[in-house]
Amino acid sequence: MSSEPRFQGSGVQLQKELLTDWYRRLAAAPEEGRKVAYLFISGNVGELLQACGMDLVFPEVNALQCGIKKVAGENILEAEDLGYSGDVCGYVKNDIGMMLKGNRMPHGTALPPPDLLVCNYAGCATYLRWFEALAEFWGAEMVVVDVPYLRGTAGPTEQEVDYVERQLHELVAACERVTGQRFDESAYRAAIARTKESEDLWVEVLHSARNRPSPIDAYFEAVFFMAPMYVMRGTEGCLEYYRALHREVMERVRLGHGPVPEEKVRIVMEGPPAWPHFRRFWEMFQDWGAVAVASTYSKVGGVWDLGERHDPADPFRSMARYMLGCYTNRNWAMRSELIEHYLDEYAADALVIHSVKSCRSFSVGQADLRERFIREHEVPTLFVESDLADPRYFAEAQMKNRIDAFFEALEHRRMTAGV
């Protein structure tokens, strides 16, 4: 099995071309006089930075690509040799190790150094320390957009939205100082309009999993499908990609085709993938005909399926609201409600929690989450552990045994219930 989606239509090829062009442009940025901003996926402000004339680098995306290409392990060891603890986030150590080795991606592209570091998600203290380390190494300016963690269950307050919106205008001023050029508000509004249309299409793709069989795996395939939305949101290429993907998914719905030969179990997935062992991790579920019909990780950069959209008529305020509502900025009561909603909406049979050592933003609270769904909701729930970047924490035999035992028990439960 390939570690890519089973779609082999125009969407897959288009995404490859878009990402290839993206990295080619990044490599040429210093020589061509373009400034570069580093930022994070959750609540990212890509459209705003691009309207300031900046090219974008996402260290998280670089880390997961290193994981898939099986070079994250050596990068992590490089950082640990420098003194980083084994308990530090694997994404951070991958990035530091890659930086020490010349900041070169697995496919050979040399990434440009940052002219500006934008810490756009403050909900994880590790993110702050990560960019502080990069700022010292590169001698680059760092800007923190403080995004309050959501504590209630009603979503962000208007005061919280005001607070973040004011900071976005301050960020524009910093970008203008770094780039030496004026912020293009008309370009920003146009990008936000493209983003909104892309979000509409992406949500329809996600909702297609309501069908039986589901035409997509909303976890193992969605992590590829979501890439343009998080890396190049607001661009013409991004919108073109989601138009192509939407067409292909709707065709699969029409034909009754899904990501496995026979859909036997519908699951909701919580937590990031095991990138260094992605293909093997996926196969363990495919062996049981299990299809993820919804996942939380595919919402790490935006929970648009709950109705939130960017708004070209109010681009700053809608951006602030979006930043506040990202999945890992939601408290555990909100996350639990979302998972419960997914289990019901997509008629799922079970919940699978993949707890990763490196990411406390995801993993803290997952054990309690498991207990809640088993005891309060009587939902069959599997809890497995590894890491999203460090290959040393993937115990294949142990994980396979737990997955097999879980699905065997689920199958027995169905048989005895006469389902």
- DSSP letter string over 237-293? HHHHHHHHHHHHHHHHHHHT--SSSS--EEEEEES---GGGHHHHHHHHHTTTEEEE
* pLDDT on residue 2: 39
Specify whether domain 29-184 bears CATH 3.20.20.150.
Answer: no
Name the residue ranges covered by the structural domains of the chain: 29-184
Q: Give the number of other CB atoms < 10 A from CB of residue 210.
A: 13
**What pLDDT, on the 0 to 100 scale, is given for residue 122?**
66
> Which pLDDT does position 7 carry in this prediction?
45
Q: Label residue 401 exposed, middle or buried (CB < 10 Å: 0-12, 13-18, 19+).
A: exposed
pLDDT at 419: 57
State the Cα–Cα distance between residues 217 and 222, nearest whole angstrom. Answer: 6
DSSP string over 101-147: TTSB-TTSPBPPPPSEEEE---S-HHHHHHHHHHHHHHT-EEEE---
For 105-120, b where at least 16 C-beta lie within 10 A, e where not — what string? bbeebebbbbbbbbbb
| Nearest CA among 323, 397, 332 for reference residue 40 | 323
Residue 13 CA from chain centroid, whole number: 21
Q: What does the pLDDT read at residue 274?
A: 96
CA atoms lying within 13 Å on the CB side of residue 107: 14
pLDDT of residue 13: 85
pTM: 0.94
Question: CB of 252 within 8 A of CB of 215?
Answer: yes
- b or e along 244-261 (b: 16 or more beta carbons within 10 Å of the residue's beta carbon)? bbbebbeebbeeeebbbe
Residue 72, both tokens: 């994250």
The pLDDT, as a whole number, for residue 1 is 34
Strand 350-356 to 381-386 pairing: parallel
Q: Which residues in the chain come in under a pLDDT of 70?
A: 1-11, 122, 418-419
pLDDT tens figures, 63-82: 999 999 999 999 999 999 99
